[in-house]
Amino acid sequence: MTALDVRPMTENDRDAAFPIYMEAFGGGPEDLAGAAELPIADRWVVTGEGKVLGALRLLRFAHYFGGVAVPAAGIAAVAVSPQARGRGAGATLMREVLRASAADGMPLSTLYMSTMAPYRGVGYEVAGVRNRYRAPLTTLPRSNDSSNVEPWTDDGLDEIVQCHRRIAATQNGLIDRPNDWWTKRIFGVPSNKFLYRYLVRDGGGVVRGYAVYTQHPEPGHFPDSWTPGDEDVYALAMRDFMWETPEAARALLNFAADHWSVGTNIYWSGPPGDPLLTFFRDRLPVVDTSYMWMARLTDVAGCLTARGYSPGVDITAEFTVEDATLPDNAGAYRLEVSHGKPTVERIDKAATTVDVRGLAAMYTSSMHPYDAVRAGFLRPDKDETTDALAAAFAGPAPWLIEFF
């Protein structure tokens, strides 16, 4: 078996690495030419005998857990050349990038997967959802008017970021977005689309909700007097639909409803059991697509210390973490949370054992510790340990708005 080496991508790797992406994910000469402009910072390659066999991209951001943003390495565009697959290149690439990212101050890692096995193999577990809800515009609840809904521009971004952060800090999983995440991912649109941005303020002038969206072509009906039959009209595809008061939710929903005569549906990302559904009067919105994501604790002590805990939590739990991929994580820990403040210590031994994958699922509040016991991830020596972990990690079901 060829010795494998993992290192940051250099300009010299470009001609070998980007064709591997094209072959892995599809793409033609135009896409490859476009890739020549892509920055190579935070891209990594795995090589064998000096030849690039695969690559991935690391994204730096943070996820809110328990009210605190935990620095994370998002993993994207993992690709191994078809000739080199199934021989450990992907696993080696992942393992070494996880090691490097933990050392670089990112105790957590997350990703969206097209296949789970390679990521489970290096310690990831399903840790949350990205639900896209859909509702016909004609079923949206109506309120008095949309006159307090106003457009905003880049100049108003600070207020929007603050509103986003206030909401995100009450949820689990949502991303604390770096500035260029806003400008490129949330606001970036192809040349054939407009981006629409509207907000709602409360009586004191504070932004309490906002929407960022494009119009997405969808079969529907123009009024028959214009064009008979089915035509592509448009849906409102929300990139963000954020609200922190009932007034803001009602105003934004009414504003969206005002598009009903030509528009079809509204799509938005929301948590499981989205509280927005409580505003709908008759027809319930549906989950149009549901995509899961995975998490990995690359630095167990760092993760346990970094997340927030409810101020009412007072627990002590001792457990031994099993981690075959990153053995530095393996061993016994004591997690003590006092009035919501965590202390994490390495200890000699602990009778309760937990697989690092199960710990990721519990840490994100995706899997209740009772379920982790049922699934075989958590093997407690006494019920109190399970209950202590349940109290520590209790919180809203984790979700994400955007895809990466």
The stretch among 113-121, 215-223, 229-237, 365-373 that binds ligand COA (CB under 6 A) is 113-121
Closest to ligand COA by CB, 114 vs 227, is 114
Q: How far is the CB of 164 from ligand COA (least distance, A)?
A: 27
Q: Is 22 in the site for ligand COA (CB under 6 A)?
A: no
Closest to ligand COA by CB, 28 vs 151, is 28
Backbone torsion region of residue 340, taken as left when φ is above 0, otherwise alpha when ψ lies between -120 and 50, otherwise beta: left
Q: Which residue has the tokens 């193999």?
A: 121
CB 331 within 8 A of CB 320: yes
Q: Is 140 in the site for ligand COA (CB under 6 A)?
A: no
CB 171 within 8 A of CB 244: no
Task: Rule CB under 6 A: choose which of 4, 6, 24, 106 binds ligand COA.
Answer: 24
CB 260 within 8 A of CB 266: no
Q: How far is the CB of 359 from ligand COA (least distance, A)?
A: 19
Task: Rule CB under 6 A: choose which of 16, 35, 91, 206 binds ligand COA.
Answer: 91
Q: Is 78 in the site for ligand COA (CB under 6 A)?
A: yes
Q: How far is the CB of 31 from ligand COA (least distance, A)?
A: 15
**Both structure tokens of 10:** 């250099």
Q: Is 126 in the site for ligand COA (CB under 6 A)?
A: no
Closest to ligand COA by CB, 90 vs 270, is 90
Q: Is 210 helix (H, G, I), strand (E, B) or coil?
A: strand
Q: Is 113 in the site for ligand COA (CB under 6 A)?
A: yes
Q: How far is the CB of 75 from ligand COA (least distance, A)?
A: 8
H or E element in which residue 384 lies: helix 383-392
Q: Is 156 in the site for ligand COA (CB under 6 A)?
A: no
Half-sphere exposure of 382 (CA within 13 A, CB side): 7
Q: Is 356 in the site for ligand COA (CB under 6 A)?
A: no
By DSSP bridging, strand 315-322 and strand 378-379 are unpaired
Torsion of the alpha carbons at 244, 246, 248 and 254, rounded to the nearest 10: 140
H or E element in which residue 270 lies: strand 263-270
The stretch among 62-70, 73-81, 280-288, 310-318 that binds ligand COA (CB under 6 A) is 73-81
CA pair distance 116, 94, nearest whole angstrom: 13
List beta partners, residue 150: 199
Q: Is 2 in the site for ligand COA (CB under 6 A)?
A: no
Secondary structure letter of residue 183 according to DSSP: I
Q: Is 37 helix (H, G, I), strand (E, B) or coil?
A: coil
Q: Is 83 in the site for ligand COA (CB under 6 A)?
A: no
Task: Rule CB under 6 A: choose which of 66, 74, 90, 128 binds ligand COA.
Answer: 90
Q: Which residue has the tokens 């457990």?
A: 319
CB 198 within 8 A of CB 82: no
Give the residue at shortest CB distance from ligand COA.
90
Q: How far is the CB of 325 from ligand COA (least distance, A)?
A: 10
Q: Is 60 in the site for ligand COA (CB under 6 A)?
A: no
* Interface ranges with ligand COA (CB under 6 A): 24, 78-80, 85-91, 113-115, 117-118, 121
